[in-house]
A and B are shown apart, each in its own frame.
Chain A
Amino acid sequence: MISSRNGKYLFCPRENIFHFLSLRGSTLPWQSSICSTILSEFFGLPRKYWVQYLLAKTDRIANIIIYNYWKFMQIKINHINKMEGHAGFMASVLKGDVKSAKLEIKEGIRLIEGILIGRHYKDVPIIVQRICGICPVVHNLTAIKALEKAMGVKISQETKDLRKLLEWGQIIHSHALHLFFLSLADLLDIDNDLKVVEKYPEETKMAIKIREFGMEIVKVIGGRVIHPLTNEVGGFKKVPTKDEIKKLIEQGNEALETAEKLGAFFAQFKFPDFERETEYVCLNSGDDYAIYEGDVASNKGLHIPVEKFENNFHELQKPNEVIKRVEVKNRNVYMVGAIARVNNNSKWLTPKAELYLESLNYSLPDYNPFHNVIYQMVEVIHSIEKSLITLGLLENMNLSGAITKDYKVKEGIGVAAVEAPRGTLYYHIDLDHNGYVKNANIITPTAQSLSHLEMDIALYLNDIMDLPEEKRTQKLRGFIRAYDPCISCAVH
């Protein structure tokens, strides 16, 4: 059946009519139930037959006529692969102007915030980490931090160090996956990763090696890579042994060397030219490359404590949408993630990461969203170095201080934010005096950057409008993936 896959001209003069007729996902008026019912009623033939026949005959000719007459075109991608979750893309173009560009979120709703209500707080970190299979660590961690704030639980320095290590491990393995397995193929204009693996066997091994170090950190400290087990309110159920930490250090030294080599490999790629000045938001602790704690700050003068997050950032749901977009009060859309962090906090990068950043010769502030990919590489080097420093400290320490001690369950409201691989992740949890959840709110990085992505892509579309259809689709997919969106997180 000819439906408009990958951006075809559409037989419809006006956008609103088009939307009216294509309510249930069909892309042409012929396919709408009204049309096909009339056809089957009047001609007594099966609906399918007529729809297919008419489509086959008229689709191409009609669309070309319509395009030339009204200059209206719809660009559609049914499904964007190599990304977490389910989403497509749709844009409408009138007389060469992009009228709308939108990510169509097709993710099922799991209602995580809803099912948390009325549950015991101990279940919360276990449930929320299952929002995402790539970044369970940060969901688990942010929930635990919010619960600790709600009940006023104090944690030891060792606990904090181990948690930061978990986060670095998470950032390393998530970035390594996105850099190499989800994005590299786009830079090379290849549509299958297995072909990338064939073409660059050495680099594949490097990427796997780096990723394995990140995973090993999470495994050793968290007990498991996907959905870790040891971290809980107040501390850890179990801490790593000295031997395990020693082994991690050895592995980390190798990973750092490998990361520098892989960094050089990525530095040779030329990213498309595209720029739009924007606001970058991330955590800022004032003395470090903040990932675990700090205030929410931007390059345009925003600086608020995490507690004020919900006063300044608003979640909006549009009818028929399962994703809640986040907007800043009285401000424009904004961007989060590796590109935001490197732009805002580059002065706190570790020496090797700084050296690598300098070698790239990009001048900051950098407003090219494609560079998000290369800034992830910067963060991989930074995170490996940082974890090596912390591991070195922990090697000679008695870690039993990180084991959970008794605490009192109390009523309270807790809010917390950490830097997830894709940007600032925010949790708000409201507990009653028995420790049962009264209310919960989770704001994910992708919910924050989605509107930004759509605004960028509407601009970018103008640059690639004249490309052949297939090439244009490929470029669009590549652009969306450079943002590293996580739809499973955004719709949770």
Chain B
Amino acid sequence: MENKNQNEDPKEEKVSIASEPIKAEAKPKIAIVALTSCEGCQFALLDLGEKFLELVEKVEMIDWGMIEDEEDPGVDLDIAIVEGTPITEENVETLKKLRKRSKLLVVLGNCAAMGGIPEIKNYHEGKNTIKHVYRYIQGIENTEIKEVDNFVKVDFVFPGCPITAEEFLKYFPDLLEGRIPDRTDQPVCVECKAKGNRCLLLDNKPCFGPMIQGGCDAVCPTSKMMCQGCRGLRPKGNVKAMRATLKKMMTDEEFENVTEIFGLRDDISERESKM
């Protein structure tokens, strides 16, 4: 989904989507809503501690279940922030209502953007996966996993599992002003190199870094963990070249398996079919 954003003309991205600029004196109205997820992306925000409290002071928090009990008054929003995968009917309804009352809708994290780990089932047993888990399956909502942008228009994505909180702080001020931020097309490798890490690929260890959108401060390779692509393909990511490089290190089956974890597999097949 992120790629759809990226593929658009960069000039267009800068154009304000909000019909009228948000007035300086009124604080922008924000809601943070979780669909089905681990809620880790919200915690990534909360974990910013005082930095996040400073940010909260600049906005009017209309609804955020994580920190308040007050009933959502249902007023129009400047920015709706959504985390998670829409799995239940209630999730879908929440999402659609939110879109209707918001100028901008941005999503947090891999689940919302790419389907996340729940999407693994789509690649295998699909709806039948439930049989391994529950005895009584009647009456349980068991849908195919679809990303948020299958239901509503998404204006901006903070990718990753979980999101990179610093990236949120970097782009959020733009969103507050009603602008869609412009993200540079840059592989994970750029930050990885800047950190002085030794490239995993040089040691014949697989890593998806070259084809994946950077901005995560290369947190995985820095811990000697291969990049598994939770942030999604970058616009110019070359899947074919990546496959060729990885041939020596992993089988095709292993490659497919790893791409399933963060919902990358369908994006890769889409990209390959276009090539």
Q: Which residues of A contact B (CB under 8 A)?
A: 5, 79, 81-82, 84-86, 106-115, 117-120, 123, 126-127, 130-134, 136, 177, 181, 185, 191-194, 197, 205, 208, 211-212, 215, 222-227, 229-230, 237-238, 317-322, 324, 474, 477, 488
Q: Is the CB of A110 within 8 A of B224?
A: no
The 8 closest A-B pairs by CB, nearest first: A133-B40, A108-B87, A108-B36, A223-B223, A114-B129, A193-B67, A114-B132, A133-B38
Decide yes or no: A230 and B135 within 8 Å by CB, A111-B129, A133-B41, A191-B68 being known contacts. Answer: no
Q: Is the CB of B138 within 8 A of A109?
A: no
Indicate whether B219 reaches chain A with its CB closer than 8 angstroms. yes
Q: How far is the CA of A115 from the CA of B142 in the complex (A)?
A: 14
Which of A84, A127, A318, A477 is B261 in contact with, Cβ under 8 Å? A127
Q: Is the CB of A114 within 8 A of B136?
A: no
Question: In the complex, how many angstroms separate the beta carbon of A79 from the nearest chain B beta carbon?
Answer: 7
Indicate whether B245 reaches chain A with its CB closer than 8 angstroms. no
Q: Mark B85-126, 1 if CB is under 8 A from A, else 0.
A: 111101100000000000000000000000011101100110
Q: Is the CB of A108 within 8 A of B35?
A: yes
Q: Is the CB of A81 within 8 A of B69?
A: yes
Q: Is the CB of B220 within 8 A of A229?
A: yes
Q: Is the CB of B69 within 8 A of A114?
A: no
Decide yes or no: A177 and B46 within 8 Å by CB, A110-B36, A224-B223, A488-B38 being known contacts. Answer: yes
Indicate whether B196 reaches chain A with its CB closer than 8 angstroms. no
The stretch that binds A, out of B22-30, B48-56, B173-181, B185-193, is: B48-56
Q: Is the CB of A225 within 8 A of B69?
A: no
Q: Is the CB of B140 within 8 A of A111?
A: no
Question: In the complex, how many angstroms separate the beta carbon of A120 from the nearest chain B beta carbon?
Answer: 6
Question: In the complex, how many angstroms separate the beta carbon of B50 from the nearest chain A beta carbon?
Answer: 6
- Provide the residues of chain B in CB contact with A230, threshold 8 Å: 223-225
Which of B49, B69, B254 is A477 in contact with, Cβ under 8 Å? B69
Q: Is the CB of A192 within 8 A of B257?
A: no
Indicate whether B141 reaches chain A with its CB closer than 8 angstroms. yes
> Which chain A residue has the least Cβ–Cβ distance from B139?
A320
Q: Is the CB of A111 within 8 A of B38?
A: no
Q: Is the CB of A208 within 8 A of B40?
A: no
Decide yes or no: A192 and B117 within 8 Å by CB, A134-B39, A237-B223, A237-B224 being known contacts. Answer: no
Q: Is the CB of A120 within 8 A of B257?
A: yes
Given A113-B132, A115-B124; 17 other pairs, CB 8 A cutoff: A108-B88, A108-B141, A110-B118, A111-B133, A115-B118, A117-B132, A119-B120, A126-B228, A130-B117, A132-B40, A134-B43, A215-B47, A238-B223, A319-B138, A319-B139, A474-B69, A477-B69
- Provide the residues of chain B in CB contact with A82, threshold 8 Å: 65-69
Question: In the complex, how many angstroms separate the beta carbon of A446 from the nearest chain B beta carbon?
Answer: 14
Indicate whether B238 reaches chain A with its CB closer than 8 angstroms. no
Which of A123, A192, A227 is B69 in contact with, Cβ under 8 Å? A192
- Provide the residues of chain A in CB contact with B116, threshold 8 Å: 130
- Provide the residues of chain A in CB contact with B5, threshold 8 Å: none
Q: How far is the CA of A488 from the CA of B129 in the complex (A)?
A: 18
Q: Is the CB of B117 within 8 A of A115?
A: yes
Decide yes or no: A109 and B41 within 8 Å by CB, A114-B121, A127-B261 being known contacts. Answer: no
Which of B50, B86, B162 is A226 in contact with, Cβ under 8 Å? B162
Decide yes or no: A211 and B121 within 8 Å by CB, A108-B36, A134-B39 being known contacts. Answer: no
Q: How far is the CA of A11 from the CA of B84 in the complex (A)?
A: 37
Q: Is the CB of A194 within 8 A of B124?
A: no
Decide yes or no: A208 and B49 within 8 Å by CB, A123-B261, A194-B56, A317-B135 being known contacts. Answer: yes
> Which chain A residue has the least Cβ–Cβ distance from B44?
A226
Indicate whether B37 reaches chain A with its CB closer than 8 angstroms. yes
Q: Mark B208-222, 1 if CB is under 8 A from A, else 0.
A: 000000000001101
Q: Is the CB of B120 within 8 A of A320?
A: no
Could you jot down 12 A-B contacts, CB within 8 Å?
A82-B69, A109-B141, A110-B85, A113-B133, A114-B121, A117-B132, A123-B258, A194-B56, A320-B139, A320-B140, A488-B37, A488-B38
Indicate whether B246 reaches chain A with its CB closer than 8 angstroms. no
Q: How far is the CA of A239 from the CA of B65 in the complex (A)?
A: 37
Q: Is the CB of B38 within 8 A of A132?
A: yes
* B203-249 residues at the A interface, CB under 8 angstroms: 219-220, 222-225, 228
Question: In the complex, how many angstroms separate the beta carbon of B47 from the nearest chain A beta carbon?
Answer: 6
Of B37, B69, B90, B135, most buried by chain A (CB within 10 Å of CB) is B69
- Provide the residues of chain B in CB contact with A5, threshold 8 Å: 71
- Provide the residues of chain B in CB contact with A208, threshold 8 Å: 49-50
